Structure 1
């Protein structure tokens, strides 16, 4: 890697490169720990719970109550203390509600969904600890990259990629710190981060250097940072939608009385219920959508300052708008047409695919005013 760019602190740039490789090594260890957690962590307890769920009657709205409670004996003080036998009113039956995600019986969260006693799984605690360590090293790499040129560390595709994955991991750890049980997202997250950083250091790497004149603006801090934050959170919403599809298929088999395989059971029971995943994905996407809207508006304002026009149908502008339309369709479909569950999940995947193409494809396959990204 050539670090002899003018105006660059070569020592800090070299430290940044060392730190990013170090972070990747720790992420690999976290990946291994997460794999061990999903495959081996509390497998017997998970299997017992899944076996119990298969006994539920499929296709019914409610499950009958347990056996009637024993007769109570009450003694009344008045009138000579005569003993009166009194049978209590029967308990209400346990109801399996209609799932908002799939229109069928809904199962509870899996016992391994990072909640209650499962929170203390050894493999899971090791994985989270390693992820925290990797995050700190990763943050050090992004910071030293910024200090090496005294500017925002997202001026090209390499820097955008490293910052994107850093924010995604930070969002995940932030949810955990806020006591949100989303440890189930750790394995796909770390896997994606390793792929993203692998592309960054091999395909997108650009020497630490000063920005082109068009990027010398305070809007770089506002517009691009918002794009990174929105993308990282939309990624979490997308992963939730993908996991929903797997969990929904698993629950459908259980409710039909089909006994899944042992490995599949161990993995699927580490996830929340399909309805919980569907709701979590929707909340993330609905929360991020206004900020993505402002990201596009901020980019238009910056374009007016830098190029003398607010909108010019540049490929990056077009695909940012297409991404906005895709998420708007998803939110509109849920609010008006009642699209939930699998239909909504497919829309989320399509919308995030538009974001990814805007992220990678536009810079690789198109030429435009945003072609300074260093690919």
Structure 2
């Protein structure tokens, strides 16, 4: 049967994140810092709105773009929060999570042979989606020395005549790095000068701890060159609801909508109802979650540095990205041994484009983080004996 598998499908690897999660699922007493999922439940008012809609028989297809009510709410939210106005009729598509939004954004603009510059470390799905679209992923390194920001110099080093698109995810998974307005202004000069398009994944926008999130589409020179991706999974603890959205100039939105129509039709209507309620009445619980993440971040990152695992203070998302080079182990060896010996699951940074580091999601309770640090200390002590 292998002869029937396409070369593109054969060329992409399975998720390195899920590999460790699946192993951890078979073990007892594991503290999983592996999968990036909030440990909070979806706010009850959000669930209740969806339940009530089902009771009222709201179980039908919606417009391919999403319900007009939700798209209008998204437009209001983006303009008031990030100063990025979008026309809800022609510039917004509601998708099945941000993962689908990223996929259709890439497929709508990438032709065979086009090079796509990917700011790394990054989430695992971008490069496979580029490959499946026939494009060529080109990693652009973001390093600890610059707090994992995307710099114009790093971008310039990877640009060729075949470069077409830049993909950036800030606040970043897995590093927690962020980009300021000044950072984006510097990158904008490169994007404009080389006639590139920017796909900006901002699903962690609300999880910004130091300062406020800046969206590149707020810059006039990038407004018509940016595809903004966002969603509800992280900010509102709605991972299983699978609601995201894509915002872009009308020509790109129209192209992405055609792909969305054929592969997904529309996001589930009951999930769209929940997303609308989250935007209307979810701010208080969202803000409470962010405050708790900030406390966990400080607790865990300080603990990592105390153990000698050098880690910058992430300004966004809910990930710490410590270096493990001081242990003498590769990131893969470190993650495998830590899971096997101390039942703490982390993700090797190499599967995310950040070798020599591991990703630790601090979206677990404070007690679990304290226990994880104790186990990591025991593990590190064992390496010295």
Query: What TM-score does the superposition give when structure 1 sets the normalisation length?
Result: 0.26
Query: What TM-score does the superposition give when structure 2 sets the normalisation length?
Result: 0.25
Greater Cα radius of gyration, structure 1 or 2: 1
Report the structure, 1 or 2, having the larger helix content.
1
